[in-house]
Amino acid sequence: MSYRIHKAQGWGMPAAQFEELCLLAPVDGCKYEALDTLLRRTTTLAMPKKLRDAIFYRRGEAARRWTSTVFEPNLLTLCGHGTNKTVAPNAADLVVNVHTPDETLAVVFLPSASYAKRWYRFDDDLDFQEERWANGTAKGAEGRVEDRVLWLPFNPYPFTNDLMHPETGAPMKWEHFLELRERKDWVPAVPSEIIWWTTRLGVFSRENALKLRPVLATWWS
- Return d(Cα 31, Cα 170) in angstroms, integer: 29
Domain count, the chain: 1
- Identify the band that residue 137 occupies on the pLDDT scale cut at 50, 70 and 90: confident
Q: 160 pLDDT exceeds 90?
A: yes
Q: Where are the alpha helices (DSSP H) in the chain?
A: 15-21, 31-41, 49-63, 113-119, 125-132, 177-181, 192-200, 206-209
The residue segments making up the domain with residue 115 are 5-220
Lowest mean pLDDT among 61-70, 90-99, 132-141: 61-70
Digit-coded pLDDT (tens) for 81-134: 555 678 899 999 999 999 999 999 999 999 999 999 999 999 999 998 888 887
Q: Which pLDDT belongs to residue 68?
A: 55
Least-confidence region, from 1-5, 115-119, 199-203 = 1-5
